[in-house]
């Protein structure tokens, strides 16, 4: 369980305050206008932003002061930070060991991830030669290699066409169910996620103003 208790943070003129509980294996969709605080919410959980007050815990362990590297969290944002000159294999391997000197069991793990993502025929291709959807699969493979149980997604597929976005949502849902991970995702087009999320959190002016079941979402909600 992820628990935010009276978390507050002041970022320039923007102030956010969050209190919420997120259960294991849930898929939470963050919705709201641009600048409402969705990315701030994700950055607080990831450890990229430190709260001014309040507590953040994961499985009853206070992680408010934990650095991002020590949290059981993986992140995938719009800028996937892939290395265009490296191959698919190398881009995933670098998340395990930056020097790419892997043990055999680590190599086998990467092969399994690549096969899982249907990228086996692209394993030695450079990132620059891949389609947008294939690049996002590689970025997803990189976060999968960490084996962390919380995945944060900040509109990572907004630049893909609608069919590819649905394909990626289906893949993430499959991973969530098979790996028992918790997903928190900022969503640009909530109508596409209705069939996947456990619930929506509507964020407005730096606060969660409403929790919604998927079927409660309306286009004119905000």
pLDDT value at position 198? 94
Whole-model pTM: value is 0.86
The predicted-structure confidence for 114-131, as pLDDT tens digits, reads as follows 998 889 999 999 998 888
Give me the phi and psi of 148, to 5 degrees please.
-80, 150
Residue 196 per-residue DSSP state: T
Contact by Cβ (8 Å): 57, 108: no
Is the model's pLDDT at 168 over the cut of 90? no
CA within 13 Å, CB half, 49: 20
Between these two residues, 82 and 43, which has the higher pLDDT value?
Answer: 43
pLDDT for 221 equals: 63
Phi, psi (deg, nearest 5) at residue 208: -80, 110
For residues 57 and 172, what is the distance between their CA atoms, to the nearest angstrom? 24
CB atoms within 10 A of CB 39: 19
Read off the pLDDT of residues 184-193 as tens digits, 9 standing for 90 and up. Answer: 999 888 888 8
Q: How many Å apart are CA 153 and CA 187, to the nearest integer?
A: 8
Phi and psi at 53, nearest 5°, equal: -140, 170
Across the chain, mean pLDDT equals 89
């Amino acid at each position: 369980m992820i628990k935010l208790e009276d978390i507050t943070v002041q970022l320039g003129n923007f102030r956010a305050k969050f209190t919420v509980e997120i259960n294991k294996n849930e898929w939470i969709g963050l919705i709201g206008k641009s600048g409402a605080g969705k990315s701030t919410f994700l950055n607080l959980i990831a450890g990229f932003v430190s709260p001014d007050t309040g507590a953040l815990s994961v499985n009853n362990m206070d992680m408010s002061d934990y650095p991002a590297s020590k949290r059981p969290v993986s992140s995938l944002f719009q800028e996937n930070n892939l290395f265009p000159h490296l191959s698919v294999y190398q881009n995933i391997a670098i998340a395990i060991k930056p020097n790419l000197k892997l043990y055999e069991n680590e190599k086998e793990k990467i092969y399994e991830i690549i096969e899982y993502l249907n990228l086996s025929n692209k394993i030695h291709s450079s990132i620059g030669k891949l389609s947008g959807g294939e690049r996002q699969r590689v970025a997803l493979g990189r976060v999968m290699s960490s084996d962390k149980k919380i995945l944060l997604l900040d509109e990572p597929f907004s630049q893909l066409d609608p069919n590819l976005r649905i394909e990626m949502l289906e893949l993430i849902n499959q991973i969530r169910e098979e790996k028992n991970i918790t997903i928190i995702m900022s969503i640009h087009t909530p109508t596409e996620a209705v069939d996947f999320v456990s619930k929506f959190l509507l964020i407005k002016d730096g606060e969660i103003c409403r929790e919604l079941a998927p079927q409660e979402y309306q286009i004119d909600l905000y």
